[in-house]
Structure 1
């Protein structure tokens, strides 16, 4: 198919496809002339993954490139998962002080108590440490104490994730499942949690009507 057809089938504008080609996110098509190329279903799949990572996963293009590099690598899924986590985890900021040491110790104990094969210096563990430090600084011990209650549920979710990914048809499909499941799974869980918050808040307040979008500022009543 030509680029125009690729654009039509994916909903990605032609200028954006050309940008992805220049940035190396999308492999070039097969040249049929100096100024023409044809594309196949692999390009459709790749474009959909790029848009999913960027639009739904919320990753900037630089991070999308890192994630796709992990997908294209010949490494095993566990190594790919580590590479993806290093790519998508935000920097945790300052890593010193009494609160940081306290939070690090708490996360280390959590990992040990649950027998998780994870390192306290790994990107997700450091993100968790940073979150706890912020809660300590805000004097929200009540929220920090939820980490131990959340852990078994997180483990249950992770086990289900791995079962699904393990059904992959070959190493490439498994690796893709690791990447997509990590990035889009985070987005899905975050959305579900916010929906549950709406429901729980409505129950506490005794609200029975559904959630309405906020009115635009400056809007007039009819």
Structure 2
């Protein structure tokens, strides 16, 4: 297909496609004449992945380039490629240098060691967790760490479900796209489920009313 057809198929403007080619994010098309090139299914798939990393993952162009380099490296294990994508989806909030931060780092390191997780406290996700725990401690909710293992149990179950979904994909690019979308939008899904479960649990523990009546048309 020509670039304009690729643009119509993916919804990405022609100038943007040209920019991705110039930046090395999208391979150039196959030249059919000095001023004409054709693009195939691989270009369409790569372009959709770029948009997912950009629009859903919120990555910068340089970060996207790193992920795509990992994808195109045949010697890179799949879990390393997926990690390269997931590591760039973390929270960019500023880290404080205070007692709460130090305590939170120690809690996270202990959690990782205790559960035998094959990761490290320097992982970006661990840093995000430390920041969140420190923020909770500053708000007077330091006792939250007492239920951290319960949350970790749930997280492991969700992670297995995430990877089971990712495992249905065939190509590494599809897997990476699933990780990005699953991490960003999947958190929104999990947040909604959590809120619904909170309503149910709260009603069972503290409520006196029965279940809401179904509306009939």
| TM class, shorter-length | 0.7 to 0.9
Distance in 2 separating the partners of 1:161 and 1:193: 11
Distance in 2 separating the partners of 1:60 and 1:208: 45
CA RMSD of aligned residues (A): 2.8
Q: Does 1:20 align with 2:20?
A: yes
On the 8 A contact 2:112/2:119 being kept in 1, the answer is yes
Q: Does 1:159 align with 2:156?
A: no
On the 8 A contact 1:103/1:132 being kept in 2, the answer is yes
Q: Does 1:54 align with 2:54?
A: yes
Q: Does 1:183 align with 2:180?
A: yes
Query: Structure 2 vs 1, CA of residues 62 and 31 (structure 1 numbering), >3 Å: closer, same or farther?
Result: same
Q: Does 1:150 align with 2:147?
A: no
Q: 1:92 deviation in Å?
A: 5.7
Which string of whole-angstrom CA distances, capped at 9 and with x for unpartnered residues, describes residues 47-97 of structure 1? 111112222223233322222222122211232234334433344633643
Indicate the SS of the match to 1:121: coil
TM-score (norm: length of structure 2)? 0.79
Q: Does 1:119 align with 2:116?
A: no
Superposed, which structure 2 residues align to 1:93-108 within 5 Å?
A: 93-94=94-95, 96-108=97-109
Q: 1:6 deviation in Å?
A: 0.7
TM-score (norm: length of structure 1)? 0.78
Superposed, which structure 2 residues align to 1:1-222 within 5 Å?
A: 1-74=1-74, 75-91=76-92, 93-94=94-95, 96-141=97-142, 143-166=144-167, 169=170, 173=171, 175-196=172-193, 199=196
Unaligned runs of 5+ in 2: 204-208
Distance in 2 separating the partners of 1:199 and 1:68: 37
Query: Structure 2 vs 1, CA of residues 59 and 146 (structure 1 numbering), >3 Å: closer, same or farther?
Result: farther
Q: 1:201 deviation in Å?
A: 7.0
Query: Structure 2 vs 1, CA of residues 88 and 65 (structure 1 numbering), >3 Å: closer, same or farther?
Result: farther
Indicate the SS of the match to 1:37: strand
